[in-house]
Each structure stands twice: as C-alpha cells, then as structure tokens.
Amino acid sequence: SESLPKFVVQSFEQAFNADDLDATVALFDDDAQILPEHGPMISGREGISAFLKDQMTPVVSFNTEADMSLIRDDIAIEQGHYRVRDVRRGSDVEEGKYMHVWRNRGEGWKLYRVMYNTDVAAPTAVSVAQAAEQEEGG
C-alpha cells in the first residue's frame, strides 16, 4: 500500500518549528479542524491561525515521527508520536501520540484533521483543588 511522501509528513513540523505561521496555516485544508486535547474543536483558517499562533514559540521545538501512513484515494492517514522539547534547557517537556488526516483535492496534500494527546498525565486538577482547600484552612 502507498504511504505519504516524507516531505508531506515533515511539512507541519518544519513550518511550525520555523515559527512560520503563514506556512503552517497554508498546510491546512479550507474546512480543516484541529481536535486538541483540552478545549473545544478548532475550525476554519482563522481559528486554526489563532490557535497555532498561540502555540508557537522559539523556546519550544516540536518533533513528530510518523509510525505509519496510508493513502486511500484522496484521503491519507498518518499516525505517529511527538515530542515537545524545551530548546533552552535541552530537555523534552512532553510526549504523546498524534493522528493527521490529509486530503488531496488536486492541489497537493492538505491537513484535514489534526488530533493529538499527551502520554504525560496532567496533575493540575488535583493540585488546584488541594491549594484551594489549604487556602480555606481545610
């Protein structure tokens, strides 16, 4: 079975790490959606642009590695794992898995759906609750 070309798979990571918002947004299909781990679904170019702008920082690099990709007609699925690296400290701050659905409507492969989730458990909810109890003298 056919798999996605390497330059397609690496295009998001390269544009994102270059802090090139326009180039990153250009990779998305007109009716693309991002399904982030926390918070509502993000739709449309404006929403995606605002979301990505918020995520972009020269301090952090985003490293994706595709474990598999599969093409069926005009749709391709890419599944892999990612690492977020703190460039200043030189250490990984997060890792997880992701799924990209690409669509090709004659103008090359564009991101149609982006979904990711972390492997790192988030202890925040617990610590916030504990802090509130302590403040109340509980």
pLDDT tens per residue across span 97-108: 999 999 999 999
How far are the Cα atoms of 57, 63, 91, 113, 128 from residue 87, in angstroms, in the given order?
10, 12, 7, 28, 28
CA distance 103 to 30: 11
pLDDT digits (tens, 9 = 90+) for 22-73: 999 999 999 999 999 888 999 999 999 999 999 898 888 989 999 999 999 9
* Separation CA 32–CA 17 (nearest Å): 20
Quick: pLDDT tens for 107-130.
999 999 999 999 987 666 655 555
Full-model pTM? 0.83
Residues present in the chain in total = 138
How far is the C-alpha of 84 from the C-alpha of 56, rounded, in Å? 12
